[in-house]
Amino acid sequence: PGKKVLIVYAHQDPKSFNGSLLKIAVEELTKQGCSVTVSDLYAMQFEPRATRNDIVGHLHNPEAFNYGVETWEAYKRGGLSKDLVEEQKKVQEADLLIFQFPLFWFSMPAILKGWMDRVLVQGFAYDLSKSYDGGLLQDKLSLFSFTTGGSKEKYAARGDIRYLLWPMQHGIMHFCGVKVLEPHICYAPMHVSEDKRKEMLTAWTQRLKTLWKEEPIDCSPEWYFK
């Protein structure tokens, strides 16, 4: 109770299966006494592109634009654009970050990747001397909840789906010091029966009931590639 949750949601249609998963998470976590904030990226028309517009005022080096350097310098002087400051504040306050999205091309949708690129800047989420277990966002949990187009068997035939999670869970979250809970994967909701879809939604509700008792995964290469 009293925990703060940020759900970063990347689907265009509230009536979608991802929309149902979002609704369940908001209802269930609120019922537990958590305060839940949702960043609905499509509804917000969130800008996924990392550009000069993310820096307010002067550039550190106007001669050669380097996004990483410029956002780091801007963060230090309080010169990031308003939309980034708002998202960083939500991240800062959250105990748990849930990312809810459909898997696109073995990865997250561009709008969500853009959120990662723009919000998790150096100085805020990590520093080169402070990454992984020493990352700046320690004491936070994260959970990737996503749907796939293909069945579990189709993914298994090409190798473990955990391979795809390495860049997201390890390369982004773990790098920033965030602990990672087991991913929640709903396979091919579009291609299963109505009953099966209901089962998937019930399983998500059940999981959320005991979420705070879960231990984070062991963020080692073995978890992904064993």
> Which residue numbers in the chain have pLDDT < 70?
1
The dihedral region occupied by 68, where left means phi > 0, alpha psi between -120 and 50, and beta the remainder, is alpha
User: What domains does the chain contain, in order, with CATH numbers?
Assistant: 4-225 (3.40.50.360)
In degrees, to the nearest 5, what angle opens at C-alpha 44 toward C-alphas 39 and 47?
A: 100
Q: Is 87:40 a contact under the CB 8 Å cutoff?
A: no
The dihedral region occupied by 89, where left means phi > 0, alpha psi between -120 and 50, and beta the remainder, is alpha
pLDDT at 13: 96
pLDDT at 1: 63
CA distance 54 to 85: 10
Question: Which residues are within 8 A (CB) of 161 and not within 5 positions of it... i.e. 6 or more apart?
Answer: 148, 152, 155, 185
Q: Is 179:216 a contact under the CB 8 Å cutoff?
A: yes
pLDDT at 65: 97
pLDDT digits (tens, 9 = 90+) for 89-138: 999 999 999 999 999 999 999 999 999 999 999 999 999 899 999 999 99
pLDDT at 109: 98
Q: Is 41:10 a contact under the CB 8 Å cutoff?
A: yes
pLDDT at 160: 86
Q: Is 41:9 a contact under the CB 8 Å cutoff?
A: yes
Question: Which residues are within 8 A (CB) of 71 and not within 5 positions of it... i.e. 6 or more apart?
Answer: 50, 54, 55, 80, 118, 121, 122
Q: Is 6:97 a contact under the CB 8 Å cutoff?
A: yes
pLDDT digits (tens, 9 = 90+) for 206-217: 999 999 999 999
Taking the model in full, what pTM does it have? Answer: 0.97
